[in-house]
């Protein structure tokens, strides 16, 4: 057990959150993370119909009695709030107690969720957005750095800088994200002032993740330089695997493509097909730079237990260093 303001807020044993991942953040993965002591997340928008989303929540509830989070990604291409209201209706009916919002300000949704007693974690790529979210009354903020898989924002600032800066002024719990995969990273985040970490890329390479085995094999060989940023020209940068589809998107952007031109290439549906078929050239697939540091595909339980014991060992080593003893790693 590691106790922080985040674990107290959420009633969890380890300050580790599994990030929302389109198509991959299923009830099974989320339940495995929550059962192992962290907070698992189901991505609402991966379930295009209300019934499918409700079924997934029921499935997760059947797999764990621990808290589960639902991610609501507010996409720039979706301009009406109606679709999100449908997801909120269902998650409230199904008794979900934690929601992660991302993509844009959750302003319109905070009063309703707070009134229902739901804890809101808003994910942001910059300290100024974290401050704004705090002022709106969210319960915690996840701050993602430039190294992250998915959307790192427009500023290109790494997690190392963002977390230190956020910790100086933000009073609510801060979750550090972008580039974390182990117990040393967890302790580093806590040292910088965060109350926990959120990981996406690391959870992709676990047994419970439904991505085709070809993706996991690629991840075992990938280097930290094997990701790239696309969609910067439409002010929605995304860090993705370097593959044929991503290179084509970049080329289209250089030629001045509009959002409408890019949509067929960046649509999530291509990603779903890629995860199912194992075609590594297809679709733009979110992936963080930390992929270069991964070398196994453990079960979620193995991963979480390992992170907890690595954090413990690291703390012992650091305590020794601070006491003036030799701090070489065994």
Ligand X SMILES: Cc1cc2nc3c(=O)[nH]c(=O)nc-3n(C[C@H](O)[C@H](O)[C@H](O)COP(=O)(O)O)c2cc1C
Nearest residue by C-beta to ligand X?
A: 200
Question: Cβ neighbours of residue 82 under 8 Å, at least 6 residues apart?
Answer: none
Smallest separation, CB 123 to ligand X (Å): 6
Residue 73 makes contact with ligand X by CB under 6 A:
yes
- Name which of residues 53 to 72 contact ligand X (CB under 6 A): 71
Packed helices 183-192 and 300-322: angle between N→C axes, nearest 10 degrees: 60
Between CA 67 and CA 215 the distance in angstroms is: 29
Q: Which of 27, 106, 125, 178 binds ligand X (CB under 6 A)?
A: 178
Choose one: 76-84, 177-185, 228-236, 310-318; the region binding ligand X (CB under 6 A).
177-185
Pick one of 15, 19, 37, 185: the residue that binds ligand X (CB under 6 A): 19
CA pair distance 17, 40, nearest whole angstrom: 6
Choices 148-156, 188-196, 297-305, 309-317 (CB under 6 A): range interacting with ligand X: 148-156
Compute the least distance from the CB of residue 328 to ligand X, in Å: 28
Cα separation, 143 vs 261, in Å, equals 31
Per the CB < 8 A criterion, the answer to whether 189 and 173 are in contact is no
Pairing of strands 227-230, 238-241: antiparallel
With CB under 6 A as the rule, give the number of residues binding ligand X.
Answer: 29
Using CB under 6 A as the binding rule, whether residue 144 contacts ligand X is answered as yes
Q: What SS3 class is residue 39?
A: strand
Q: Please give the DSSP secondary-structure letter assigned to residue 211.
A: S
Taking CB under 6 A as the rule, does residue 27 contact ligand X? Answer: no
Considering the rule CB under 6 A, would residue 177 count as an interface residue with ligand X? yes
Residue 16 near ligand X by CB under 6 A: no
d(CA 227, CA 291): 9
Q: How far is the CB of 265 from ligand X (least distance, A)?
A: 17
CB of 326 to ligand X, least distance (A): 32
Strands in the chain per DSSP E: 16-18, 40-43, 68-73, 98-102, 119-124, 140-144, 174-177, 196-199, 227-230, 238-241
In this chain, which of 27, 40, 106, 149 binds ligand X, going by CB under 6 A? 149
- The answer to whether 153 contacts ligand X (rule: CB under 6 A) is no
Site residues (vs ligand X, CB under 6 A): 19-22, 24, 43, 71, 73, 102, 123, 144, 147-150, 177-180, 198-202, 204, 286-288, 290
């Amino acid at each position: 057990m590691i106790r922080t303001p985040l674990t107290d807020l959420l009633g969890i044993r380890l300050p580790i959150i599994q990030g929302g991942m389109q198509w991959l953040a299923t009830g099974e993965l989320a339940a495995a993370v929550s059962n192992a002591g962290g907070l698992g997340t189901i991505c609402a928008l991966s379930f295009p119909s209300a019934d499918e989303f409700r079924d997934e929540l029921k499935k997760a509830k059947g797999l764990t009695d621990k808290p589960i989070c639902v991610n609501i990604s507010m996409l720039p291409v979706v301009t009406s709030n109606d679709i999100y209201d449908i997801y909120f209706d269902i998650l409230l009916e199904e008794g979900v107690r934690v929601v992660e919002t991302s993509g844009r300000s959750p302003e319109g949704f905070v009063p309703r969720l707070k009134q229902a007693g739901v804890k809101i974690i808003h994910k942001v790529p910059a300290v100024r957005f974290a401050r704004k979210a705090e002022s709106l009354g969210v319960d915690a903020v996840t701050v993602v750095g430039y190294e992250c898989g998915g959307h790192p924002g427009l500023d290109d600032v790494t997690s190392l800088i963002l977390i230190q800066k956020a910790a100086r002024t933000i009073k609510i719990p801060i979750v550090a994200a972008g580039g974390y995969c182990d117990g040393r990273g967890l302790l580093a985040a806590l040292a910088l002032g965060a109350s926990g970490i959120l990981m996406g890329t690391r959870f992709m390479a676990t047994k419970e993740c439904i991505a085709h085995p070809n993706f996991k094999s690629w991840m075992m060989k990938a280097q930290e330089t094997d990701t790239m940023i696309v969609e910067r020209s439409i002010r929605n940068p995304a860090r993705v695997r370097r593959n044929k589809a991503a290179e084509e998107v970049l080329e289209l952007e250089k030629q001045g493509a509009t959002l409408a031109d890019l949509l067929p290439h960046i649509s999530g549906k291509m990603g779903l097909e890629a995860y199912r078929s194992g075609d590594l050239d297809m679709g733009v697939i979110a992936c963080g730079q930390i992929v270069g540091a991964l070398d196994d595909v453990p079960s979620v339980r193995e991963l979480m237990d390992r992170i907890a014991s690595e954090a413990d060992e690291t703390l012992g080593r650091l305590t020794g260093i601070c006491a003036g003893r030799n701090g070489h790693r065994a």
